[in-house]
Amino acid sequence: MIRFLPKTPLRRSSSLLRTSKCLATQAGIFKQKLDDGPKLDDFIRMNPDVETVTLGNTSQPRLPSFLKTKIPKGASFTKIKEDLRGLKLHTVCEEARCPNIGDCWGGSDKSKATATIMLMGDTCTRGCRFCSVKTSKAPPPLDPHEPEHTAEAVSRWGLGYIVLTTVDRDDLPDGGAEHFASTIRKIKYKAPNILVEALTGDFAGNLEHVALVARSGLDVYAHNIETTEALTPFVRDRRATFRQSLSVLARAKEEGVRITKTSMMLGLGETEDQVLDALRALRNANVDVVTFGQYMRPTKRHMKVHRYVEPAEFDRWKEVAMNMGFLYVASGPLAGEYFIENVLRGKGSGSSKSPAQTQSLSQETVTDSAPL
């Protein structure tokens, strides 16, 4: 009969010794490979004799220095963020990952800070190829308390101008028009002197819903065409069309809105003729304000940047648009929903200024604060 004796401490010690020797041998082999491999000098030399690998997407243009922004911070930034979280409100500044958020929220003077509040939740029923806002065919239901909470937040901040926007809600019978209009009315009730800009969707082309929001007491009706007519099918959701957006802006003007406004992104592959055609179409729709900004790719899942537009080209488009008769043009690499309080208050008081005078007056405010 064979008996198996338990391992003695001597046998365990021998086993550990063999394992240690094996590991030491492997470590020695690895160290030898490192010693025989390329050194730091090989990578620093102008013509290294080693094969190198380039990581990342080399087909994308590099981000220019004039588009790099600072990490957002400051007391005003923290205060606005805390108020938004406490009242369960969303902003397009955060959801769309806007690079301007530090400038908009971070001013030392709270009256010069601006947030673009996003109504009706943080989930959109459309999927534009440039936008990082979440999408779903069936977003959560509307928060019935949102209009009151929004008005409360705005009245706390003591701002002179506020921008409201919204996700598209094609799942709602009126696209959320009544919810939007109710929010504006409550803001005007709590803070009568504040100027309100409403950046709306196209309400699926239903112009009666456009009229409902336009008659709510707002000061600026904004709706973005985003890009040229030729590029629209490749940039925006298939349910959004260039002509439909023009009809939204035209109807808002017909309802008596003082200022209508739109924005275009550059760097998507548009041609000069396409941009000129878009500007002519906007003037024919009696649009007052246009802004140009650089398309910034939010994630690798979104469409690529075709090119980064130089500041001088933005300046040229500003001059072209002003000469076409627009009331005001904001044009720059990080331009967005520009703060035009001086334009509104000047126009509202009955002053008659030339486009050049209005442009100069507005630029003072843009220099102080560049909201999203």
What span, in angstroms and rounded, lies between the C-alpha atoms of 141 and 120?
8
The two structure tokens encoding residue 356: 């050049």
Closest CA to 196 of 167, 166, 226, 165: 165
* Highest-confidence segment of 65-74, 110-119, 128-137, 185-194: 185-194
What span, in angstroms and rounded, lies between the C-alpha atoms of 202 and 165?
12
Write the pLDDT tens digit of every residue in 306-352: 999 999 999 999 999 999 999 999 898 765 444 466 666 664 444 33
Contacts of 11 (CB under 8 A, 6+ apart): none
Mean pLDDT score across all residues of the chain: 77
pLDDT grade for 134, boundaries at 50, 70 and 90:
confident
Query: Do the beta carbons of residue 260 and residue 232 sit within 8 Å?
Result: no
Give the model's pLDDT for residue 90: 59
Write the pLDDT tens digit of every residue in 198-255: 999 999 999 999 999 999 999 999 999 999 999 999 999 999 999 999 999 999 999 9
Q: Is the model more confident about 367 or about 280? A: 280
Write the pLDDT tens digit of every residue in 24-54: 677 777 777 777 766 665 555 555 555 554 4
Query: Percentage of the chain surpassing pLDDT 70?
Result: 62
Give the model's pLDDT for residue 260: 96
pLDDT grade for 94, boundaries at 50, 70 and 90:
low
Q: List, as own/partner pairs, every contact residues 366-369 make where C-beta atoms lie below 8 angstroms and the sequence separation is at least 24, other chains included.
A: 366/330, 366/338, 366/339, 368/107, 368/112, 368/339, 369/103, 369/104, 369/107, 369/112, 369/113, 369/114, 369/339
What span, in angstroms and rounded, lies between the C-alpha atoms of 280 and 311?
23
* 313 burial via Cβ count (<10 Å: 0-12, 13-18, 19+): middle
Write the pLDDT tens digit of every residue in 307-318: 999 999 999 999
What span, in angstroms and rounded, lies between the C-alpha atoms of 187 and 191?
6
Buried b (16+ CB within 10 A) or exposed e, 174-186: bbbbbbbbbbbbb
- Report the run of H or E that residue 356 belongs to, with start and end: helix 355-368
Closest CA to 333 of 104, 132, 64: 64
